[in-house]
């Protein structure tokens, strides 16, 4: 879990330009940040017209200064006045007219990381500010699950992976990527739980706040779930999907996505943000043939696709043979778990029984994937 940013997550704005200040305050509001503003810094220490080592020192409770602020936005009008301040990371020189070559010299003099020209850099600046507010840290490990054929059990595996990750103490978000799948909240027994569903995010544009997203979703079995409702709307714009999935990842922990067996523009937006895709394939030839077509589409976007073989049919293929035919690494085998459909019908989510075959597979997967260095070993 990402820790809180120093300075309470409040950026510091240094400018005497009222129009630029209005722009920066607007961008901070869009990122959910409450900045601290120095309209004019006192000239302390050093030569006249510069700011000494105590520049912007905290003068009141809750304020932030040059060294303690997690992010400093210096207006191009104020660059001269901060030349004597101590060098630090997270300083940006911001203005509207930055074609003047002297601006770049000023950026070097104050140790700015970047020179940002408004309005062109507004989106980038909102992202930078929001990262500070949210305490940007390691992104979530994002895993997609897709069925190689109909009825392969992908939704069951996705749900079980999320349940087991949450029970292991990971911050977990389960995302239902299939509007025609019936709803992952139903599989978790929470179709009536309060919280937002996909149609509520259809109008999302730009950056979605990670904390606000998490708090808005139904909480079921110690995890958050973003599902479809039972309404008629089955389409959310790809841009909104991209923003929501990106927000889910920024909170860290684990994100599990149940994917449909197609790759359209919306699904491609999800695949592009996943670290790994698990393709669930029953161990028989017809399912493998169908999975080959699905895999071809997924590989066009996904970085890493692996095979999970579900069950063994009498006279069927060995797991290694299935993976070999699909030309993908084998992630493991999930045996058929007797009694699981009945337990799910009674309200027990997949993976809830820690000693079951499904839970054992999921626990082993997360132990390998969530090592000391987050990643998924081959």
Residue 42 has what pLDDT? Answer: 45
pLDDT digit string, tens, across residues 62-106: 446 888 898 999 999 999 889 888 999 899 999 987 677 788 889
pLDDT digit string, tens, across residues 250-288: 888 999 999 999 999 999 999 999 999 999 999 999 999
58 — pLDDT class (breaks 50, 70, 90): very low
**Strand 36-38 relative to strand 219-220: parallel, antiparallel, unpaired?**
unpaired
Q: Which two tokens stand for residue 79?
A: 């660059």
Is residue 56 scored above 60 in pLDDT?
A: no
What span, in angstroms and rounded, lies between the C-alpha atoms of 195 and 218?
5
Choose the most confident range, by mean pLDDT, from 5-14, 122-131, 218-227, 336-345.
Answer: 218-227
Residue 97 has what pLDDT? Answer: 74
Is residue 204 scored above 90 in pLDDT?
A: no
Is residue 23 scored above 50 in pLDDT?
A: yes
Is residue 134 scored above 80 in pLDDT?
A: no
- Which helix (DSSP H) or strand (DSSP E) does residue 146 occupy? strand 141-147
Least confident interval from 31-40, 47-56, 117-126, 177-186: 47-56
What span, in angstroms and rounded, lies between the C-alpha atoms of 43 and 52?
8
Residue 53 has what pLDDT? Answer: 37
Residue, of 299 and 49, whose pLDDT is higher: 299
Q: What is the mean pLDDT of residues 38-63?
A: 44
The residue with tokens 């997609």 is: 144
What span, in angstroms and rounded, lies between the C-alpha atoms of 151 and 149?
6
Residues contacting 254, CB < 8 A, separation 6+: 140, 141, 142, 143, 162, 165, 170, 171, 172, 173, 366, 370
Helices and strands per DSSP (H, E), number in the chain: 12, 13
Q: Tell me how far CA of residue 230 lies from CA of 41, 270, 308, in angstroms.
A: 56, 22, 30
232 — pLDDT class (breaks 50, 70, 90): confident
Is residue 314 scored above 70 in pLDDT?
A: no
pTM of the model: 0.73
Residue 376 has what pLDDT? Answer: 64
Residue 60 has what pLDDT? Answer: 40
């Amino acid at each position: 879990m990402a820790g809180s940013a120093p300075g309470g997550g409040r950026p510091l704005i240094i400018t005497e330009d009222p129009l630029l200040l209005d722009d920066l305050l607007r961008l901070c509001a869009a990122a959910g940040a409450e900045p601290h503003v120095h309209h004019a810094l006192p000239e302390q220490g050093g030569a006249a017209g510069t700011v000494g080592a105590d520049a912007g020192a905290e003068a009141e409770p809750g304020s932030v200064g040059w060294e303690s602020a997690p992010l400093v936005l210096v207006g191009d009008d104020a660059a001269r006045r901060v030349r004597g301040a101590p060098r630090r990371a997270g300083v940006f020189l911001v203005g509207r007219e930055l074609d003047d070559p002297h601006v770049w010299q000023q950026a070097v003099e104050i140790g700015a990381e970047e020179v940002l020209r408004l309005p062109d850099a507004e989106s980038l600046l909102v992202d930078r500010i929001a990262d500070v507010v949210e305490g940007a840290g390691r992104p979530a490990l994002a895993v997609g699950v897709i069925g190689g054929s109909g009825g392969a059990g992908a939704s069951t595996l996705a749900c079980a992976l999320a349940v087991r990750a949450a029970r292991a103490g990971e911050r977990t978000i389960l995302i239902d990527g299939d509007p025609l799948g019936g709803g992952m909240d139903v599989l978790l027994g929470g179709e009536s739980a309060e919280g937002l569903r996909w149609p509520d995010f259809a109008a999302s544009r730009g950056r979605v706040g990670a904390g606000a997203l998490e708090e808005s979703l139904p909480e079921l079995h110690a995890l958050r779930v973003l599902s479809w409702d039972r309404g008629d709307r089955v389409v959310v714009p790809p841009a909104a999907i991209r923003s929501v999935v990106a927000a889910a990842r920024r909170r860290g922990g684990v994100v599990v996505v149940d994917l449909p067996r197609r790759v359209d523009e919306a699904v491609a937006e999800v695949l592009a943000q996943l670290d790994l895709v698990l393709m669930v394939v029953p161990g028989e030839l017809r399912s493998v043939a169908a999975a080959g077509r699905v895999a071809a589409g997924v590989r066009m976007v996904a970085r890493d696709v692996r095979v999970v073989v579900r069950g063994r049919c009498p006279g069927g293929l060995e797991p290694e043979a299935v993976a070999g035919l699909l030309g993908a690494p084998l992630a493991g085998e999930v045996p058929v778990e007797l009694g699981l459909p009945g337990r799910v019908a009674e309200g027990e989510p997949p993976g809830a029984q820690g000693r079951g075959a499904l839970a054992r597979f999921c626990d082993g997967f997360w132990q390998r994937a969530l090592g000391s260095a987050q990643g998924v070993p081959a």
